[in-house]
Amino acid sequence: MFDRIALIGLGLIGSSLAHASKRGKLAKHIAGHAKSAATRQAALTIGFADSVHATVAEAVKEADLVILCVPVGACGAVAAQMAAHLKPGAIVTDVGSVKAAVLRDVGAHLPASVHFIPGHPIAGTEQSGPESGFAELFDARWCILTPPVGANADAVEKLRAFWQAVGSKVEIMTADHHDLVLAITSHLPHLIAFNIVGTAAHLEEVTDSEVIKYSAGGFRDFTRIAASDPVMWRDVFLNNREAVLEMLGRFSEDLSVLQRAIRWGDGEQLEAMFARAREIRRGIIAAGQDTAAPDFGRRK
């Protein structure tokens, strides 16, 4: 599909894209770059990149497809480093969890001779780093592309075909709409998880060992989400401020309704809200986006 793919950032998403591209034989050569020498060495040792480069400029040379797999806040600086070295006609994309900020920060640096089409695979784990990647990460998961107005239709189709070839289903929407949808489906759940784990950590009357011992009561599932990479999530909240604040406002209002129902012993209200929530979970399973096995399949 491509002669040369350049991956900038070789953590969970970058290394998984390399594994999946190799599985599908999608590139003759995969070039990579990461900030640290340790990650670059790990990429060579594991073998998911054919070449690794000490600079962004060297890594993107002659690449037909360049994919930024770095934290959202680093995208603008990386784009500035690569701009003068991109092959005319190359497709440049990213995998960042926020889209309007990336469109603004990266778009500002790129020459008109390349096709910039931001993207975001809705796939991940709480792990990070070059050892955490695997070829199946994107299988049956959605990938959202947010081409700017006037984007080259052939380039969009080629990028769509690439994501399909690594296993994804592809949807196209505007960057602003993406940021609003992801604020409720991903960003707010992470914020809640970070917060609830923080609240438990601050409790003086519950010892650490009790929090851990009885975590299967629900807390454990929040801790998995809260274990996600701190730098990545710092950048998500700094770069999707408006949409997250909007969803947080709605969340707080709904939480107050629950609080009031508990205070006044309004069982009907509580049951109705919990029943609606259960239906959403059933819908997610019906859509094939999670397992129906009890406890996420932990019980064998």
- Residue ranges that bind ligand NAP, judged by CB under 6 A: 8-14, 34-36, 39, 69-72, 74, 77-78, 95-97, 120-121, 124, 128-129, 229, 232
What is the torsional sign of CA 131, 15, 194, 255? Answer: negative
Nearer to ligand NAP, 211 or 241 (CB): 241
Q: Which residues contact 107 (CB under 8 A, 6 or more apart)?
A: 116, 148
CB of 152 or CB of 237, closer to ligand NAP: 237
Q: Which is nearer to ligand NAP, 96 or 147 (CB)?
A: 96
- Of 11 and 147, nearer to ligand NAP (C-beta) is 11
**Residue 115 DSSP SS3:** strand
Q: How far is the CB of 269 from ligand NAP (least distance, A)?
A: 35
Determine contact, residues 232/71, Cβ cutoff 8 Å: yes
Round to whole Å and give the CA distance between 186 and 97: 9
Instruction: Kindly state the smallest distance separating residue 185's Cβ from ligand NAP, in Å.
Output: 12
Burial class of residue 151 (count of CB atoms within 10 Å of its CB; 0-12, 13-18, 19+): middle
Least Cβ distance, residue 138 to ligand NAP (angstroms): 10
Residue entry with tokens 């932990």: 298
Closest distance of CB 179 from ligand NAP, Å = 12
Q: Taking CA 116 as the corner, what is the angle to CA 244 and CA 65, rounded to the nearest 5 degrees?
A: 115
Going by C-alpha positions, the residue among 72, 95, 123, 14 that lies closest to residue 244 is: 72
Matching residue, tokens 């960042």:
96
- Angstrom distance (rounded) from CA 77 to CA 84: 13
Q: Measured from the CB of residue 292, what is the shortest distance to ligand NAP in angstroms? A: 23
Minimum CB distance to ligand NAP, residue 39 (Å): 3
If the CB atoms of residues 6 and 72 are measured against ligand NAP, the closer one turns out to be 72
Closest approach, Cβ 136 to ligand NAP, in A, equals 14
Q: Nearest 10 degrees: CA dihedral of 157, 161, 163, 166?
A: -170
Nearer to ligand NAP, 164 or 269 (CB): 164
Quick one: 126 or 266, whose CB is closer to ligand NAP? 126
